[in-house]
Structure 1
Amino acid sequence: MIDAVYFEFGLVEIYKYFVIVVMKEGITVKPEYNADLESLAEKYFKDKKFGYITNRKNSYAVNPMIYLKTSEIQNLVAFAVVSPDGMKATNLEVEKLFLKKPLKHFTNIEDAKIWIVEMIENPYSR
């Protein structure tokens, strides 16, 4: 891990190829939080591709409009959602309508990391 940053919405861990985000219990993820992701992309991934892994340990709501802004981050190549249960995964179908980046569900963090690195190293797999 390169760094860990705490925001109003939760914890962001920064790694070489991706960020791992754990949102706080009970919050609603709002479009205005995207500014924090944009600043992290600029600071840690300037001129480098990276991926976003959300580790959905906690229960929270997502305003899907955030994904329209997230899609505008040019060097963000993929978005992974990690949740051990399928119930949270059903929300992905709605989220996919708004995010214009590859989005995939995983039941464990290690598989998500591997997929993100593959998406960065092999852009033709997208």
Structure 2
Amino acid sequence: MLKPLMKERLIQKYSLDMGEVFFFENYLIIEVAEGICFNHEKATELSLLTNLHFGNRPFGYISHRINSYSLKPTDYMKIREVFPNLAVFVVVAYTTAQEISVKIERIFYHDKIMIFETLEMAVASVKKCLELETQEK
């Protein structure tokens, strides 16, 4: 469960079959439910919400991996189609197995996936990356 550690106001929380999704101004935090297989279909479902909240603006995606679930790594090849405005992708990993999983996911994602040990560090990094991207434009 998401701790009330954010200085920013939570815009919207969704409780979906795939898990909990928390939307902030420029990023989301997803906590995928235990035992779910997160695949292209679920990413597409999530993209409807990202389009609603972020429109064409760049956004950050934080995967807060507090539960054990599976991913379909080959679906990462399609992630850019599903989230065209995704500017930064971050994972909060709590175990060595999760870190190894992210390293495998990087092979299929074809872009940078940052790993952090705490949600606080992940949020700070996402905010900094989005700030830098805004300055570059």
Who is 2:104 aligned against?
94
Scaled by the length of structure 1, the TM-score of the pair is: 0.90
RMSD of aligned alpha carbons: 1.7
The 3-state SS of whatever aligns with 1:68 is helix
Deviation per CA, 1:53-89, whole angstroms, max 9, x where unpaired?
0111111111112322222222111111102222211
Letter in 1 for 2:96: G
Gaps of 5+ in 1: none
What aligned pairs does 1:72-91 form with structure 2 within 5 A after superposition? 72=81, 73-91=83-101
Query: Identity of counterpart residues, as a percentage?
Result: 27
Gaps of 5+ in 2: 1-9
Who is 1:26 aligned against?
35
Scaled by the length of structure 2, the TM-score of the pair is: 0.84
Moved more, 115-124 or 102-111: 115-124
- Quote how far apart the aligned CAs of 1:102 are: 2.5
Question: Hey, what's the Cα distance between the residues in 2 that align with 1:75 and 1:85?
Answer: 29
Who is 1:122 aligned against?
132
Q: Which has the higher helix share?
A: 2
Letter in 1 for 2:51: E
Letter in 2 for 1:79: F
Letter in 2 for 1:23: V
